[in-house]
């Protein structure tokens, strides 16, 4: 069966394909599905934003769609940047902006987590799955891999940007959410589409 992921981000697509393909699902990007839409993500939660994206694409393709929304939630900043993670600072300046705001926050109060919510819609209905990755904010940028806040997010003393793609996928919020979605889809589509 074919499914459209509401993104053209190659990293997100690769991870989704790796985790969901054993179910016999072929995942297309928006571009591959011929969809050019960029709805305003004005929800107050990750789940609302994910559903906004999924619904906009579903309306155009009328086949199963998934969409994710994710971000960084820092306890010392009352959960910020949260749903505004992508708009929190100019592109490329996310880490410096965050480190500046956290300058006087002591080590034991630098806890944070990445949150991911994936929405899915098909002819039978819709739903969401969510997962998180807990860690803390470091004091400097470290590592060459990853993107966004990865260079300052520490997981067991290592930043996400210091990990290989496989290491990050094994513990990441998106990887965990996709594994939950795998179970949902196995129940939803498993028997019906096993031979297609």
161, 140 Cβ separation under 8 angstroms: no
43, 51 Cβ separation under 8 angstroms: yes
State the Cα–Cα distance between residues 61 and 50, nearest whole angstrom: 17
The string over 99-108, giving b where at least 16 C-beta atoms fall within 10 Å of a residue's C-beta and e elsewhere, is bebbeebeee
Q: Hey, which residues are catalytic here? A: 69
Structure-block tokens of residue 46: 């990750």
Query: Nearest to residue 19, comparing CAs of 187, 180, 191?
Result: 180
Query: Nearest to residue 149, comparing CAs of 131, 168, 166, 130?
Result: 168
């Amino acid at each position: 069966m074919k499914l459209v992921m509401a993104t053209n981000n190659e990293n997100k697509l690769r991870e989704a394909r790796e985790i969901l393909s054993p179910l016999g699902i072929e995942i297309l990007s928006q571009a591959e599905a011929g969809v050019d839409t960029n709805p305003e993500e004005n929800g107050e939660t990750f789940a609302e934003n994910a559903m906004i994206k999924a619904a906009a694409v579903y309306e155009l393709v009328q086949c199963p769609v998934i969409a994710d929304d994710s971000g960084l939630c820092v306890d010392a900043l009352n959960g910020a940047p949260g749903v505004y993670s992508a708009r929190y600072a100019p592109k490329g300046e996310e880490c410096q902006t965050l480190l500046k705001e956290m300058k006087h926050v002591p080590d034991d109060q630098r806890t944070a987590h990445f949150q991911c919510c994936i929405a899915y819609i098909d002819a039978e209905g819709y739903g969401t799955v969510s997962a998180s990755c807990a860690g803390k904010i470091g004091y400097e940028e470290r590592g060459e891999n990853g993107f966004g806040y990865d260079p300052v997010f520490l997981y067991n003393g290592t930043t996400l940007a210091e990990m290989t793609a496989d290491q990050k996928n094994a513990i990441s919020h998106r990887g965990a959410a996709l594994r939950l979605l795998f179970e949902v889809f196995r129940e939803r589509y498993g028997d019906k589409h096993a031979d297609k």
